[in-house]
Amino acid sequence: MGKTLYDKIYDKHVVYSGEDQPSILYIDLHLIHEVTSPQAFEGLRLNNRHVRRPDLTVATMDHSIPTTDRSIPFRDDVAKKQVRTLEENCHDFGIRLFDLTSEHQGIVHVIAPELGITQPGQTIVCGDSHTSTHGAFGALAFGIGTSEVEHVLATQTLKQDKAKTLAINIEGELPKGTSAKDLILSLIGKLGHDFATGYVIEYRGEVIRHLTMEERMTVCNMSIEMGARAGLIQPDDVTFNYIKNKKYAPKDELWDDALIEWRSLYTDDDAVFDKTVDFDVSVVVPQVTWGTNPGQVAGITDVVPSIDSLPFDQRKAGEKSLQYMGVSSNTPFEEVKLDKVFIGSCTNSRIEDLRKAAKIVSGYKVADSVTALVVPGSQRVKRQAEEEGIDQIFIKAGFDWRESGCSMCLGMNEDIVLEGERCASTSNRNFEGRQGKGARTHLVSPEMAAAAAITGHFVDVRNWVTREREEVRSW
């Protein structure tokens, strides 16, 4: 019997396989950040252990940092201490750190791919659940807790039982005006918030092959929102072309060697998955979440659901969600008014996302009732946007143009949504209190968020009239 892509990567990284414990799996790349690493370093020190492979460990600061002017000192002393602790730990253990002064700083899941460190066939871990993002490159990438961060620092390995495999065949044609975000949101809506718990997903099919790397990252990023341990996409020429010539990508002969290895990373024709799902995207419309988990989602042309319209086992949770969100059943989404708009996060803060949002914003003004901000995923994304003049489109329209970081996705810094406020967000989680206590989050694509910022309520972006940037006017 053939092997799946997951089997191939897993098997290649088994260091030791004993009957009495899960296999010891080698880790090729360990990404760390300020929030989930300090206690791990403390553990190393207490046990007099060292970092086995500092050269396979990469650090950045992204979660709790401000996104305002970098020349202003930290106002939050607790966050400042956390950032200083990371600096000390990286210094003491010889780990490469892209700090706030680095031209490569950014959200950990944005910078590793753009530096060419994320590569096909690798095992990648990070103390962050959205590590699944890197699966877009055909790497086995998943989030871990702080105890496991310490384990990887000390041993460069993890004890891992094999997961079950789930094939999601995505067929049809993604309709005009819809995006990778709409694809993954509608998939989660169809399958449910915990459908893939215990599985590693492989996204397959014609639609996936035609996505750009950045779109594939958006899809794999949200695998965890279905409960999956990881999401994978078979690497192909789109992947290889993206990596080629990146800063840390292999060069010359090493590139040739790598390419031979990477081209062997596919699921064999006779491989068998534990579960298979087919999903036709031809009917997908722009998506908006209405509840407090990403599976509570509907199309922009729908209305906010009534409790009776939900499957029986989802009614109780649905009622609680609707109450928290403060939206009435049967309200058309186009009538839902917004206070904040956030364009950013490891799901949708890359250059293609900003270009798409800017195309909508061009020539318009943000509605008076809305506060809107764009937080580029990395310093590199920010620079590129500024070179292309995209920053000016946002600024002229009235958006805040920020420094890179996780920002309002989880509101660990000052970028929060206030109690009772409603936010259209390009991030990945609409949990209660995620963006701030009592904050009401609706997850959408960058295009949908951009349009909502202009009109002050949700609109169907498929009907949007784009303008030239010279004639800036209100909606």
Partner 1 sequence: MVKPFTSLTGTVAPLDVDNVDTDAIIPKQFLKRTERTGYGQFLFYDWRFEDGEERQDFVLNEPRYKGSSILLGRKNFGCGSSREHAPWTLADYGFQVIIAPSFADIFYNNCFKNGMLPIVLSEDQINQLFQLVTTKSGYEVTVDLENQTVTDSHEFQAHFEVTPYRKRLLLKGLDEIGSTLEHQSKIDSFEDRHRIYYKLEHGSI
Side-chain-facing half-sphere of 143: CA atoms under 13 Å: 20
Question: ∠23-29-35 over CA atoms, to 5°?
Answer: 100
Segment near partner 1 (CB under 8 A), from 139-147, 208-216, 371-379, 460-468? 139-147
CB of 119 to partner 1, least distance (A): 6
Q: Give the nearer residue to partner 1 in terms of CB position, either 117 or 448.
A: 117
Q: Give the nearer residue to partner 1 in terms of CB position, either 192 or 398.
A: 192
Q: Give the nearer residue to partner 1 in terms of CB position, either 90 or 366.
A: 90
Strand order in the sheet with 371-374: 400-401, 371-374, 340-343, 422-425, 440-443
Q: Which of residues 190-209 bind partner 1 (CB under 8 A)?
A: 193-194, 197-198
Q: Does 319 bind partner 1 (CB under 8 A)?
A: no
Q: Which of residues 371-400 bind partner 1 (CB under 8 A)?
A: none
Report the C-alpha gap between 58 and 39 in whole angstroms.
17
Q: Which of residues 269-308 bind partner 1 (CB under 8 A)?
A: 293
Binding partner 1 (rule: CB under 8 A), the pick from 106, 227, 231, 376 is 227
Closest CA to 302 of 338, 333, 337: 333
Binding partner 1 (rule: CB under 8 A), the pick from 68, 70, 87, 191 is 87
CB-CB neighbours of 466 under 10 Å: 11
Closest CA to 258 of 122, 382, 354: 122
> Which residues 6+ apart lie within 8 Å of 292 measured at CB?
320, 321, 324, 325, 430, 431, 432
Q: Which of residues 231-250 bind partner 1 (CB under 8 A)?
A: 248-250
Report the C-alpha gap between 216 and 130 in whole angstroms.
13
Is 406 annotated among the ligand-binding residues? yes
CB of 65 to partner 1, least distance (A): 11
Is 126 annotated among the ligand-binding residues? no
Report the C-alpha gap between 393 and 361 in whole angstroms.
7
Q: What's the burial of 389, exposed, middle or buried (CB within 10 Å: 0-12/13-18/19+)?
A: exposed
Q: Which of residues 52-71 bind partner 1 (CB under 8 A)?
A: 52, 54-56, 58, 63-64
Q: Does 38 bind partner 1 (CB under 8 A)?
A: yes
Binding partner 1 (rule: CB under 8 A), the pick from 2, 15, 75, 307 is 15
Q: Are 199 and 164 in contact (CB under 8 A)?
A: yes
Q: Are strands 297-299 and 23-26 parallel, antiparallel or unpaired?
A: unpaired
Q: Give the nearer residue to partner 1 in terms of CB position, either 64 or 362.
A: 64
Binding residues for partner 1, how many (CB under 8 A)?
A: 87
Binding partner 1 (rule: CB under 8 A), the pick from 50, 75, 147, 328 is 147
Q: Does 257 bind partner 1 (CB under 8 A)?
A: yes
Report the C-alpha gap between 129 and 228 in whole angstroms.
10
CB of 135 to partner 1, least distance (A): 15
CB-CB neighbours of 19 under 10 Å: 4
CB-CB neighbours of 113 under 10 Å: 24
Distances in Å between the alpha carbon of 213 and those of 189, 216, 240? 23, 5, 10
Q: Are 428 and 221 in contact (CB under 8 A)?
A: yes
Binding partner 1 (rule: CB under 8 A), the pick from 7, 76, 171, 302 is 76
CB of 99 to partner 1, least distance (A): 7
Segment near partner 1 (CB under 8 A), from 32-40, 165-173, 179-187, 205-213? 32-40
Q: Give the nearer residue to partner 1 in terms of CB position, either 3 or 162.
A: 162
Binding partner 1 (rule: CB under 8 A), the pick from 99, 319, 339, 421 is 99
Q: Give the nearer residue to partner 1 in terms of CB position, either 2 or 198.
A: 198
Q: Does 151 bind partner 1 (CB under 8 A)?
A: yes
Q: Are strands 157-160 and 123-126 parallel, antiparallel or unpaired?
A: unpaired
Q: Which of residues 419-448 bind partner 1 (CB under 8 A)?
A: 429, 431-434, 437-438
Q: Give the nearer residue to partner 1 in terms of CB position, either 179 or 428.
A: 428
Longest dimension (CA), the chain: 69
Q: Give the nearer residue to partner 1 in terms of CB position, either 408 or 461.
A: 408
Segment near partner 1 (CB under 8 A), from 25-33, 281-289, 443-451, 456-464? 25-33
Report the C-alpha gap between 208 and 205 in whole angstroms.
6
Q: Which of residues 333-372 bind partner 1 (CB under 8 A)?
A: none
Tell me the binding residues.
346, 406, 409
Tell me the binding residues for [4Fe-4S] cluster.
346, 406, 409
